[in-house]
Structure 1
Amino acid sequence: MPLHHSINYLEIPSENLSASKVFFETVFHWQFTDYGDEYTAFHNDSIAGGFYRSSTPSRTKSGAALIVFFSKNLEQSLADVTQACGQISQDIFAFPGGRRFHFIEPGGSEFAVWSEV
C-alpha cells in the first residue's frame, strides 16, 4: 500500500512515445504497457507512471518540475544517456552535496542525474 501523501505516480509529456520508451528501457530498464496510441505506462522497482503524447515537453526553462535520478557512477550514467540518444543539456557540474547533469530524452522532456561527491 502506498504511503500517505507520498508521490505515487508520475505522468510525463512526450513528443514521441516510442522514442521515449526505447530510451527509458535502455538506460533505466523501465518496463512499459501501452494504452492506445496516446499513452504508455511504465514501472520499475521504485517508480511508476506514464508518458502521454504532447507537443509540449517538460522543460525547466518553461517552469516544469525537474525529475532527478540518482546514480552511483555519474560518468557511466552520462555515457549511457548519450549512447541511447539522450541530448546533454547541461554537462556535469558540482553543487552542495554532489554533482549532476541534465539531459533531454528523445521525447523532448528534461531530466537530471545526480551523484554524491
Structure 2
Amino acid sequence: MAKLNYVELPVQSTATTKAFFAAAFGWDFTDFGDDYAATMTGQTDLGLNGDRSQWTAAPLAVIQVDDLEATEAAVTGAGGTITQPIFAFPGGRRFHFRDPNGNELAAMQPA
C-alpha cells in the first residue's frame, strides 16, 4: 500500500522555518547545506527548500495532531497565521494556517 512519506516546502528562510516548526510541533531538522533541511523520522518527513531555483508550487500538507485547540495556540504562538478556523469535516476537525513563509498547511484531529 502506498502512503505519503515526504512533503517539500519552498521557504524564504530555512532557519526561520525550522524555528517555527520546532516551536509549534516540537520537530527537529537535519541540515543538508545552507538552503535545505528535513525531518528524519522515517515516517512522513518534511523538507524545507530554500533554493528559489528549485521551487515548485507548494502542496497543502496536513499534520495529524492529538489536541487541535492546543495546536492552534502553538501555531499562532510560533508566528503562524490562521487562514481557516477550526471546522468539522468527515473524519474529524481541522484548521488551515500559513507558516512564516506564506505556505498554507493544515492541522487535523481525527474523529
Shorter chain as normaliser: what TM range?
0.7 to 0.9
* Aligned equivalent of 2:110: 116
Output the TM-score relative to the length of structure 2.
0.81
Contact 2:25–2:74 (Cα < 8 Å) also in 1:
no
> C-alpha separation between the residues in 2 aligned to 1:22 and 1:106?
10
Among all aligned residue pairs of Structure 1 and Structure 2, give the percentage whose two residues are the same amino acid. 42
Instruction: Call closer, same or farther: CA 1:70–1:5 in 2, change over 3 Å.
Output: closer
**Structure 2 CA distance for aligned equivalents of residues 111 and 100 of structure 1:** 10
User: Structure 1 residues 108 and 16, CA, compared in 2 at 3 Å: closer, same or farther?
Assistant: farther
Q: Does 1:40 align with 2:37?
A: yes
Partner-residue secondary structure (3-state), 1:77: helix
Give the aligned CA root-mean-square deviation in angstroms.
Answer: 2.3
User: Would you say the 8 A contact 2:86–2:95 is kept in 1?
Assistant: yes
Q: What's the secondary structure of 2:106's corresponding residue?
A: strand
Instruction: Output the CA distance in 2 between the equivalents of 1:44 and 1:24.
Output: 14
Of residues 77, 81, 85, the one that matches 1:83 is 77
Post-superposition offset of 1:99:
1.4
Letter in 2 for 1:94: A
Measure the CA separation in 1 of the matches of 2:24 and 2:107: 12
